Structure 1
Amino acid sequence: MPAGKVVDHDRVVTHTYGDPEKATKLFTNIGDCFVFESSLRILDYAEVQPIYAGENTVPTDAYVEKLNQLDFLFLRGSNYINTNGKWDAITALLERTKVPVMAFGIGVQTPDNSEDYVNESTKRFLQLVADRSTSLAIRGNLSQKALKSIGINKVRVIGCPTAFRHRKPTIAIKRVGSSDIDKLGFTLRRKTHGSQTLQRYMLRTLAEQFPTRIFCAGELEEKQIYYANRGELPQSEAALSAAIATLTAENWFYGPSDPLIGMYKSSLAVFEAVQDFEAGLKEMDAVTGFRLHGNLLALANSVPALYVTYDTRTREFVQTLGIPSIDIRQMDRFSFREAWDRADFSTFEKAYALRFKELRAFLDENGMAHRLEHTAPVLVAAE
């Protein structure tokens, strides 16, 4: 299933857009929508068609012929390099087509210190994509190492399309000291393994220091609280109580007097359209938290973001783009203010310009029409 619904040519909304009741029953990670929409904003095309390949269905010859009329197929960036992939259905479909297949910002998802990157299904799928393209656009050096282990060497390291959604060759982050933060955004990823207590601690302590807004990426209980608190669900009171009871049972809330409940009612933000989420982030002076794409969408709009890294994926990402970060393994006696004031966004600005050039090279060498702005020529004075 595509990450979201395309509207107005290159805008993306969730599959539950405009339907709060449905939104509380279907998990949709709006971060995937960020990558999808950003990819569409970068590419130059007349129309885009979603491709479906179910495990229990065999595409007809007519459907395959329809795909062969397209100019290219592109794979939205995500964690495709892993040992849990089930790609047999889409691989079987792609093997029947003749169209170039472009990987656009893919990355590895593996446990710390593991060198077991793919299963056979994933290997076959990735090798097909590599055979049908000049190069692959990937997240970082670990992804490059993983692909090299299965014989794929033609890659361009770009990070993620979301960083380049405004198509500009350079970026300048708006600096702000910790003492000048009036609006702080926290990107929530409540189910991050091993960090629930840490996220609670950060939310509580940050809210004591700054007016803090909690950006939800799609968690069901958070959406239920958000919509019920606004009376937008059938039997909203009951729905609110049920969501609070669920989070209490999971030890996210510590009973009915937990201050975090009040924070949720006053400061939780839920968005079903990428541009609405983006508008919310642009109101912030600073952003931090656990959402890879939520933080990156802030940076793409020149809003400074301090990453919290917790796995190989987030660590590879901040390394690729030179993003200031703190690691959950090194947060003893942690001070957000000190970490924030030490953050150097000039490294990100330089890395952004370099990865932008790599992205352009990837698109050009694969013959993909795009809307990236040209890099300004360097002027040298003659002596």
Structure 2
Amino acid sequence: MTKIGILSIKPSIEARSQPSFDRLYQMVGKNTGNLLFTNAVWNQIAGPKERTNFSFCPSKLNEEYSALVIPAANWLSPSVDFGDLAKLVEALKIPVVLIGLGAQDADYSGSIDVPQGTVRFIKAVSERSVSISVRGAYTRDILSSLGIDNVTVTGCPSLYQDFRTFSPPPQKLNIRFDRGLIHSTRYSASHAPFARTESAHRKLFRLAYAEKLDLLIQSEPEEMAMLTGFSDGGDFDDRLRMLMGEVYNTPDWEDLKAFILRQGRVYFDVSKWASSLDMYDYVLGTRLHGTIMALNSGVPAVLVHHDSRTRELCEFAAIPSVSDDSLQTNRRYIERLFARADWSRYYEMRERNLTTYMNFLSINGLSAA
């Protein structure tokens, strides 16, 4: 059997074996959530597989692979141009299967200024596959506006991956507030407008710090560098420390540093991530994959949807959610939010949508594991 190529990051990474933090950060695509859909695709497709990178040689792939599979994220975005990848895909003669493509749009406008290089890439894939897998109806409609209609709405492949053996949470739930895991969305704290503008993201960082709740780190480089031992914070200049203090709403750098080291959590192996969730009664925040990891490990979770990418997946997969503009971060609100959430719809939709996803793999010539 000819092997299948998978264009992806490594499914797991040994953080402390990397030569630098910058190298580690690039290896996870600047977001450890990428590990979830990467692992899902690797586990869901049967047969011999081999990882390739984003600077592959098309002639080599044409000779050695029966198909190229590309686990995708929110690549339909005005800020990312996949022109270089388009050139490589245009030279391929083998089938190319794109799984889990999403659109990034802050306000669900229905119109995204997609760079021409990215349009070329998606069209090149479209010409080499029976269908493209997208995360929701919103992304499907964006592709249709670009003249691409061989599309199947499957959601993200991570939706269908059990990250450990689990039972769904009970329908009537009383959480212990102090047993929560919070997650939010931020890249570098050096971006002053984030620190100084009210948002659901900032509210969640402040909630975790004020209530001393554990905080899941996925893309925040300063916290990630500290938690992996690449930095002790001593290399952060005064401005960066000040801005981090504004994010968490504290002027006390030493106390903030102690909080991050004590209650920050970062994972580079999905099995360890899943097993760690035994500690928590609930998971709350803006991270899509942080939420899916919890739900697919049997832990109650609510996603704060804040853009097209998160909203369309909440709608498609019935992920328990609340909008960013209605989020409150007091104890009573959070306890009531989880008491009223409907977990059954998520697991029912998961089973129903799995059939669509398996059919998608089949029509594209891929055998399910």
- Asked if these proteins are the same fold (TM beyond 0.5), I'd say yes
What CA distance in whole angstroms lies between the structure 2 residues aligned with 1:261 and 1:152?
A: 48
Within a 5 Å distance, the mapping from 1:68-87 to structure 2 comes to 68-87=63-82
Verify: 1:119 aligned to 2:115, yes or no.
yes
Alpha-carbon distance in structure 2 between the residues aligned to 1:140 and 1:24: 33
Deviations 1:134-172 (A, max 9, x none): 11111001001011112222222111111112399x973
Deviations 1:29-59 (A, max 9, x none): 11112111111011112121313328xxxx4
CA distance 1:171–1:369, shift in 2 (3 Å): farther
Q: Tell me if structure 2 keeps the 8 A contact 1:137–1:157.
A: yes
Pair 1:156–1:289, CA change in 2 (3 A): same
Q: Give the Cα–Cα distance (whole angstroms) in 2 for the partners of residues 332 and 181 of structure 1.
A: 14
- State the SS of the aligned residue for 1:35: helix
Letter in 2 for 1:240: G
Equivalent pairs counted in the alignment come to 347
Which residue identity does 1:364 align to in structure 2? S
Q: Return the offset for 1:318.
A: 0.7
Unaligned runs of 5+ in 1: 6-11, 372-383
Q: Identify which range, 124-133 or 158-167, moves more after superposition.
A: 158-167
CA distance in 2: counterparts of 1:267 and 1:298, whole angstroms: 18
Between Structure 1 and Structure 2, whose CA radius of gyration is higher? 1
Q: Which residues of structure 2 form unaligned runs of 5+?
A: 1-5
Matched-pair contact (CA < 8 Å) for 2:283–2:299: yes
Aligned equivalent of 1:294, options 290, 303, 308: 290
Question: Which range is displaced more, 259-268 or 156-165?
Answer: 259-268
Conserved in 2, the CA contact under 8 Å of 1:25 and 1:220? no
Instruction: Name the CA distance, whole Å, in 1 between partners of 2:328 and 2:264.
Output: 27
Q: 1:333 to 1:80 in 2, by over 3 A?
A: closer
Cα distance in structure 1, aligned partners of 2:38 and 2:159 = 12
Distance 1:96 1:21 in 2: 34
Residues 161/327 of structure 1: CA separation in 2 closer, same or farther (3 Å cut):
same
Give the match for residue 266 of structure 1: 262
Task: State the distance in 2 between where 1:295 and 1:311 align.
Answer: 15
Q: Is the contact made by 2:216 and 2:265 (CA closer than 8 Å) also made in structure 1?
A: yes
1:134-145 equivalences under 5 Å are: 134-145=130-141
| Alignment partner of 1:226 is 2:231 | no
Cα distance in 1 between the residues matched to 2:355 and 2:50 = 25
Moved more, 187-196 or 304-313: 187-196
In the superposition, relative to structure 1, how do residues 117 and 364 fare at CA in structure 2: closer, same or farther (>3 Å)?
farther
1:157–1:282 CA distance, 2 compared to 1 (3 A): farther
Instruction: Report the residue type matching 1:225 in the other structure.
Output: M
Cα distance change of structure 1 residues 33 and 121 upon mapping to structure 2, 3 Å threshold:
same
1:304 and 2:295 are equivalent in the alignment: no
> What is the TM-score when the length of structure 1 is the normalising length?
0.80
- State yes or no: 1:4 paired with 2:5: no
Offset at residue 322 of structure 1 (A): 0.6
User: Displacement, 1:339?
Assistant: 1.4
Query: What is the alpha-carbon distance in structure 1 between the residues aligned to residue 186 and residue 54 of structure 2?
Result: 30
> Is 2:35 aligned against 1:33?
yes
* Contact residue 61 and residue 92 of structure 2 kept, 8 A: no
Secondary structure of 1:124's partner? Answer: helix
Give the partner amino acid of 2:12: V
Q: Do the aligned partners of residues 200 and 64 (structure 1) sit closer, same or farther apart at CA in structure 2, a change above 3 Å counting?
A: same
Question: In 2, Cα distance between the equivalents of 1:3 and 1:291?
Answer: 20
Residue of structure 2 in register with 1:189 after alignment: 185
Aligned to 1:45: 47
Structure-1 separation of matches of 2:272 and 2:153: 29
State TM-score, norm by structure 2.
Answer: 0.83
Change (3 A) 1:332 1:249: closer
Asked if the contact 1:139–1:158 (Cα under 8 Å) also holds between the matched residues in 2, the reply is yes
1:106 maps to 101
2:70 and 2:35 mapped to 1: Cα distance?
13
Aligned with 2:75: secondary structure? Answer: coil
CA distance in 2, matches of 1:177, 1:17: 36
1:313 matched to 2:315: no
With over 3 angstroms needed to count, the CA separation of the structure-2 counterparts of 1:191 and 1:89, relative to structure 1, is closer
1:1-383 aligned at under 5 Å gives the runs 3-5=8-10, 12-14=11-13, 17-19=15-17, 22-23=20-21, 26-27=24-25, 28-53=30-55, 59=57, 64-112=59-107, 113-166=109-162, 172-175=168-171, 177-180=173-176, 183-191=179-187, 198-205=200-207, 212-227=213-228, 232-233=229-230, 239-243=232-236, 245=238, 246-250=240-244, 251-253=246-248, 254-256=250-252, 260-331=256-327, 335-371=333-369
How much has 1:190 moved relative to structure 2? 3.0
Question: Is the partner of 1:240 in helix, strand or coil?
Answer: coil
Q: Distance in 2 between matches of 1:244 and 1:342?
A: 44
Counterparts of 2:174 and 2:241, CA distance in 1: 31
Residue pair 2:163, 2:296 contacting (<8 A) in 1 also: no
The letter for the 1-side match of 2:366 is M
Instruction: Give the drift of 1:272.
Output: 2.2
C-alpha displacement at 1:285, in angstroms?
2.2
Once the two structures are superposed, residues 228-287 of structure 1 have per-residue CA deviations (whole angstroms, 9 ceiling, x without a partner) of xxxx45xx6xx3344495242342243226865443232111222222222223442211
**Percent of residue pairs bearing the same amino acid type:** 22
